[in-house]
Amino acid sequence: MSTWRPISPPPFWQQWLPEWLHGPLRLLCYFSVLGLIVFSAIAFFYFMLAMRFDLNEVARLPVGTICYDRKGVEIDAPGGGGRKLVKREDIPDFLVKSLQAREDARFFDHHGVDIRGLARATVRNLKDRGFTQGASTLSMQLARNSFKIKQKSLHRKFLEIALTLRVEARYTKDEILTCYLNRIYFGAGAEGIEQASRTYFGKSTRALGDGECAMLVGIIRGPHIFSPFHNLEAAIEQRNQTLKRMIAMGLIDAARSEAIAAEPVRLVDNEQRENQTSYALQAVRRELDSILDEGDIQFGGLRIYTTLDAAWQMRLEVELTHAVENLELEKSWKHPTHKNHTPGTNPAYVQYAAVTTETRTGAILAWIGGRDFGHSRFDRTRSSRDLGSAFEPFVAAAAAERGKLVLPGKPVQTGRQIGPAEVERLAKRCGFDGPFLETEDLFRGSVAATPMEMSVGLATLGNKGKRPKPYWIREIRDATGEVIYTAKPQLTQALSQGAALDATSVLRRSNGTRCFTGATGSERDAWTLRLGPNGATAIWIGFDKPTPIAREPRLKSLLDEFVNLLGNE
C-alpha cells in the first residue's frame, strides 16, 4: 500500500517572510505565549491577594489624630475637634481642576492606573536604579493609604495596582475624589480639605476662592515646607506652579491665571485658628508637621505619644496662676475679662511662661506659653526677655570652664577673670542665641533669652555639661498601631563635667532641688530657675508690654514662692 501524501503548502505568513525570519518569529510567538501565561498567573495572584482587603475601608475614614502624654493619658489633639468631612457638592470645580492638573492629569480618563505615566516612571526608575518615580494616580494614592501599603517594592506596586482596580470598580470618580480630599493631610494639624480650608482661610471648602484652591493643592506635596503659615513665599510659588499646569492643560487661560495670582492672600490670624488647643500642643503640632513631611505621611488616624507630663504641667499652671493672682490682689489690680482683654494693652495683667526640659534626654515635660491660651495664643516661651541677674549661673559656668574661681553672688568679679568674649562663647554652647554685649554689662545680665533657651541651658548644667536637644514627640503610631517614628535623644558636650558642677554651686538648695531666682534692675522681667531630680524648669514672669512688676522685696518673695510651692517634679 502506498503511504504517499501530498505535501501541505507552508502557512501564509511563511510565504511572505524570508526564510531566515521563520525561526526568530517562532521563538517570538513562543515567548509571547509564555509571557502571557506568566502575566496571567501574576495578575491572578495579585487579584486574589487584593480580594482579602475590605473595600469599605476606603470610605471609612480614620479618626483624627490623638495625643497622649508620657504616661499614656489622652490629651487634646492638634486637630482640635477631629476630622471635618465634605461631600462632593461642597468641593468647588476649580479645586477639582487644580488637583487634576497637579496630581493626576488623566484622572477622569483612566481606570485607576495611568499606563503612560507608569511606563515613563518605570523607564526612569530603571535609569536611576531605584524607586525615584511612582506615577501614582489619585486612585492609587487612595488605595495605598487606605490599606497602609508603605514599603517601596515591585510587590507593593503590583498589589497597589490590583487594589486600585478594585477601588475603581467599586467607587465612582466623584467618590474617589471626595474620599481622597477628606483623608489628605494639609499641615498645621489640618486633616482633610474642610479642616485645611478653615485652618488657613477661616472659611468652609465650598466658599474657597480660586487662588485658595490652587494654594491648598500646592500644599499637598509638602504639608510642612509649603504651609503658608510656615513659608508663605513657598506656598505662593506652589500655587503659581499649579496655575501654570492648569494653563498647560487648557483648564484656564493666561489672563485668568494672572488675575488669580494678583489676588492678595488672606490667611487666618493666629488668634482665630480653629485647630489650636494649647501652647503645648502648638509646639507638638509644629514638630509633628516636620516629622510628617520628612516621612511622606499624608493621611491621618495617627497616635502621637508626646513627652509632656500632663500632671506636672497642670501643677505648674495652677501654682503660677495662684501666685500672680495673689500679687494682683495685693496691688488691688482688677483681672481683665476674657471678652474685653487684649494682651499687652492692660498693664495690670501679669503674664508668665515656663518650660521644663528632662535633663538627661531633652524631652519637654511642660510647656506653658502664657497665662491663658483663651486670652492670647502668643507663645512667650519663644520670646526673648532680659535676664538680669538670672544670667549668673552661666557666667559661673564660663569661668569654671577656664579654670577660674566661681564667686557666688558676684557675677561681675567672676566674669572679669575671663572677659565678655569667653562668657559669650560658653553661653552659645549652652544654647543661647544672644545678641551679647561686649562689655562688663554682660556679667550683670544685659542679655536676652527665651524661657526655652534658659531651660535647655539649665539642663546642660544639670546634665554634666551635655546639652540636650529639646523634643516634644517620642513616638508616632499609625491607625493600625504600627510604629512609624521613634525619637532619638541627641546630646552635645557643651562644657566639661567639672565646670557644670561648679556652675551649679551658685544655685541654692530647697526641698531637694537646686534653685536660682533673678530679675532685671528695672524689675520688668523676673526669672526662677529650678533644677530638680529629673527636669530643668525656667519660669519667666512679666508683662507683654515691659512694665515694672513689683518692688524688689515683694518681687523676690514672689519668686521664692514659686520655688517653695512646686517642690519635686
Q: Residue ranges per domain, the chain?
A: 82-280, 313-566
Task: Find, among 1, 21, 342, the residue nearest to 10 by Cα.
Answer: 21
Q: Specify the pLDDT at position 118.
A: 67
Architecture of the domain delimited by 82-280: Orthogonal Bundle (1.10)
111: which residues sit within 8 A by CB, 6+ positions away? 165, 168
**What is the torsion angle, in degrees rounded to the nearest 10, for the CA atoms of residue 163, residue 168, residue 170 and residue 173?**
140
pTM assigned to the model = 0.74
Q: Specify the pLDDT at position 275.
A: 59
547: which residues sit within 8 A by CB, 6+ positions away? 347, 524
C-alpha cell, 515: 534653685
The upper half-sphere exposure of residue 426, i.e. CA atoms within 13 Å in the direction of its Cβ, equals 30
What is the C-alpha separation between 150 and 485, in angstroms, rounded? 14
493: which residues sit within 8 A by CB, 6+ positions away? 465, 466, 467
Task: Judge whether 142 and 58 are in contact, CB under 8 Å.
Answer: yes
What is the C-alpha separation between 229 and 568, in angstroms, rounded? 38
Q: Are strands 385-386 and 448-449 parallel, antiparallel or unpaired?
A: antiparallel
- Percentages helix, strand, coil for the chain (3-state, rounded to 5) are 45, 15, 40
What is the C-alpha separation between 164 and 342, in angstroms, rounded? 53
What is the C-alpha separation between 503 and 461, in angstroms, rounded? 7
H or E, element range at 561: helix 552-566
Strand partners, 537: 356, 530
What is the C-alpha separation between 77 and 278, in angstroms, rounded? 10
CATH number of 313-566: 3.40.710.10
Task: Judge whether 423 and 443 are in contact, CB under 8 Å.
Answer: yes
Q: Specify the pLDDT at position 480.
A: 74
What is the C-alpha separation between 202 and 191, in angstroms, rounded? 15
Q: Within a 10 A sphere around the Cβ of 331, how many other Cβ atoms?
A: 13
Give the residue carrying C-alpha cell 508620657: 70
Q: Are strands 303-306 and 66-68 parallel, antiparallel or unpaired?
A: parallel
What is the C-alpha separation between 255 and 25, in angstroms, rounded? 56
Task: Judge whether 307 and 365 are in contact, CB under 8 Å.
Answer: yes
What is the C-alpha separation between 251 and 100, in angstroms, rounded? 10
Task: Judge whether 219 and 235 are in contact, CB under 8 Å.
Answer: yes
Strand partners, 360: none
SS3 of 467-499: the string is EECCECEEEEECCCCCEEEECCCCEEECCCHHH
Q: Specify the pLDDT at position 343.
A: 42
Q: Specify the pLDDT at position 413.
A: 96
Task: Judge whether 523 and 550 are in contact, CB under 8 Å.
Answer: yes
Task: Find, among 181, 174, 168, the residue nearest to 88 by Cα.
Answer: 174
Q: Specify the pLDDT at position 206.
A: 94
Which residue ranges of the chain lie beneath pLDDT 70?
1-23, 25-26, 30-31, 62-63, 76-83, 117-135, 150-152, 270-276, 293-300, 331-348, 565-569
- Let me know how long the chain is: 569
